[in-house]
Structure 1
Amino acid sequence: MNTHTLSTRDKLIAAMADALQRKGLHGVGLNELLSQAQAPKGSLYHHFPGGKTELAVAAIEYLGTRIDAFVERLFSEHPEPLQALRRWLDGGLQQLEASRFSRGCPLATVALESGPEDVEIRAALANCFVRLRQALGRQIASMGYPPASANQFASLFVALYEGGLLQARVAADGQPLLDAANALFELLQHYPREMRHEA
């Protein structure tokens, strides 16, 4: 998002999306969001009458569209799915290391701190994860795996990525994510070929 050409509403969404990745929902205050968005006081409730929660839902939905675009671009640039998945992991680790292990996955950061009362936020997060798993499942299916297996591997990759990033972030070391990724790629490569082409 180019913040120089955005509306105040979009600047608030971009500021919240960035804050969710760095601090989570409860780690950022409204004044900080307004300052980062260079938005006047009162603008948040003007654009988001539901306050911080409504803004967070909008930011999560925005992040979901960014993830969709990222997946599409990634697999168009790297037609070999395993190569694309490796590139994804490399990019995630590079971002994490460049931020001195402060910027994890924004979806996971919010999910970990959400509670049963955060119905709208959890629904937005769940929708993003579903879209992500479905997009990955389609790509893995292109390797010849039956749809059920492709969807299972997609779910495994998302779980691996989120859990690996979490461990890497707290340890300030990317090795846990790399080890888990290498194990998954070995599994994918040696999955029985006759099972890949089951109806």
Structure 2
Amino acid sequence: MRASAELFRRNGYTGTGLKQIVAEAQAPFGSLYHFFPGGKEQLGDEVIRESGLLYGQLFDIFIAPAPDPVSGVEAAFAAAAETLVETGYADACPIATVALEVASTNETLRKATADVFTAWIDKGTETFERFGLSTEDARRLTIAAVTSLEGAFVLSRALRDTEPLRVAGTTVATLARELQPS
């Protein structure tokens, strides 16, 4: 699953073949169907859900320990930009990569990505509420952060430039500042 997650993040779901996965995992080909009798689709579903949970923990890593939502947002976007540069613009969000590819062609994987995004929105809302934001404002800020981050990943990867992440981070930080209780 770890090898699949890495390959999906870098190459997308359709750009990743089963032979590539087992080679990367250094596993016998038959083990894939032993553990995932539903084949690549089952593997993809499980990888999306597990990876999604891991990426959802970024709220705990960057936002929750921050002194305020603005600092948390700034730290999260700065870390995302740093990761892109360090990985040659290869490592972005595997969930968005797969969602963009399969949302209209594979209901199982569309549902998996939707469930992950819903979990992130719930987690972010809960995290921002701890700073005193109303549920509505916390949800609005979370959706703005997730959509801005995902869109900025796409632009930054295509342009090979972190400017979109910097601009998106500033924009979401501005919203966080506006929504902070007085």
What residue in structure 2 maps to residue 170 of structure 1? 158
Residues 11-35 of structure 1: CA deviation (Å, up to 9, x unaligned): xx11111011100001111111101
Instruction: Tell me the distance in 2 between the aligned counterparts of 1:70 and 1:144.
Output: 20
List aligned pairs for 1:64-103, cutoff 5 A: 64-103=52-91
What residue in structure 1 maps to residue 26 of structure 2? 38
Structure with more relative contact order (C-alpha pairs < 8 Å, separation 6 or more): 2
What residue in structure 2 maps to residue 51 of structure 1? 39
Give the C-alpha shift of residue 160 in structure 1: 0.4
What residue in structure 1 maps to residue 110 of structure 2? 122
Give the C-alpha shift of residue 181 in structure 1: 1.7
Give the C-alpha shift of residue 103 in structure 1: 1.8
Instruction: Tell me the distance in 1 between the aligned counterparts of 2:105 and 2:48.
Output: 17
Gaps of at least 5 residues in structure 1 are 1-12
What residue in structure 1 maps to residue 16 of structure 2? 28
Residues 104-149 of structure 1: CA deviation (Å, up to 9, x unaligned): 2101110111143311111111111111111111222223221111
Bigger Rg, which one: 1
Instruction: Tell me the distance in 2 between the aligned counterparts of 1:64 and 1:86.
Output: 21
What residue in structure 1 maps to residue 5 of structure 2? 17
What residue in structure 1 maps to residue 124 of structure 2? 136
Runs of 4+, deviation exceeding 4 Å = none
Change (3 A) 1:153 1:91: same
For the Cα contact (< 8 Å) 1:24–1:110, is it kept in 2? yes
What residue in structure 2 maps to residue 182 of structure 1? 170
Gaps of at least 5 residues in structure 2 are none
Instruction: Tell me the distance in 1 between the aligned counterparts of 2:175 and 2:40.
Output: 42
Instruction: Tell me the distance in 2 between the aligned counterparts of 1:187 and 1:122.
Output: 29
Change (3 A) 1:69 1:188: closer
Instruction: Tell me the distance in 2 between the aligned counterparts of 1:79 and 1:68.
Output: 20
Instruction: Tell me the distance in 2 between the aligned counterparts of 1:61 and 1:118.
Output: 15
Change (3 A) 1:149 1:115: closer
Instruction: Tell me the distance in 2 between the aligned counterparts of 1:188 and 1:85.
Output: 8
Which amino acid in 1 is paired with 2:25?
Answer: A
TM-score (norm 1): 0.84
For the Cα contact (< 8 Å) 2:74–2:170, is it kept in 1? no
TM-score (norm 2): 0.92
